[in-house]
Amino acid sequence: MLKGISNRISPDLIKVLMEMGHGDELVLADGNFPAASHAKRLVRCDGHAIPELMADILSLLPVDANAKHAFALMKVDPGDPAETPIWEQYRAIAAEHSGNDQPFEQMERQAFYDRVKNAYAVVATSESALYANLIIRKGVI
């Protein structure tokens, strides 16, 4: 534990966050996402939901103000009646840290998965909400 850093941030996670550069992407994967098979680098955060972790990360990680969308979500599959209330939580947290209240790009499932494979790292959480996977693009300091 260190002063001013949430104890949800593990030593491996902070090292990965610090190694990332402008344009590198971090994936916060929900508890059912096939994280180990899609990640170049895998950081496990078992037992944690995404919103608290997202807030902890954004207090350290600058988001890409240059990009049209600094965050990406997986679009609801056609025909799926699922609701995505967690997106509102994400929006509030993102807005607080990036000053942008429309920062989310929505991607179809397969395109989202392909983008995850190129991300710098995937954080495997236990988030149980539907369509809760989130990509964050790092900006500059």
| From 27, 28, 33, 72, residue interacting with a copy of itself (rule: CB under 8 A) | 33
Q: What number of chain residues touch a copy of itself (CB under 8 A)? A: 46
Q: Is 97 a catalytic residue?
A: no
Contact call for residue 62 and a copy of itself (CB under 8 A)? yes
CB of 101 to a copy of itself, least distance (A): 20
* Cα–Cα distance measured from residue 114 to residue 111, given in angstroms and rounded to the nearest whole number: 5
- Measured from the CB of residue 137, what is the shortest distance to a copy of itself in angstroms? 11
Measured CA to CA, the distance from residue 95 to residue 75 in angstroms comes to 20
Q: Examine residue 126 and tell whether it contacts a copy of itself (CB under 8 A).
A: yes
Start-to-end Cα distance in the chain: 24
Instruction: Find, among 102, 117, 6, the residue nearest to 56 by Cα.
Output: 6
Q: How far apart are CA 43 and CA 65, in angstroms?
A: 25
Sequence-ordered alpha helix ranges (H) in the chain: 11-19, 35-38, 50-58, 86-98, 109-118
Question: Is 37 near a copy of itself (CB under 8 A)?
Answer: yes
Catalytically annotated residue among 22, 38, 48, 97: 22
Binding footprint of a copy of itself on the chain (CB under 8 A):
1-24, 29, 31-37, 44-48, 59-62, 120, 126, 138, 140-141
Catalytic residues: 22
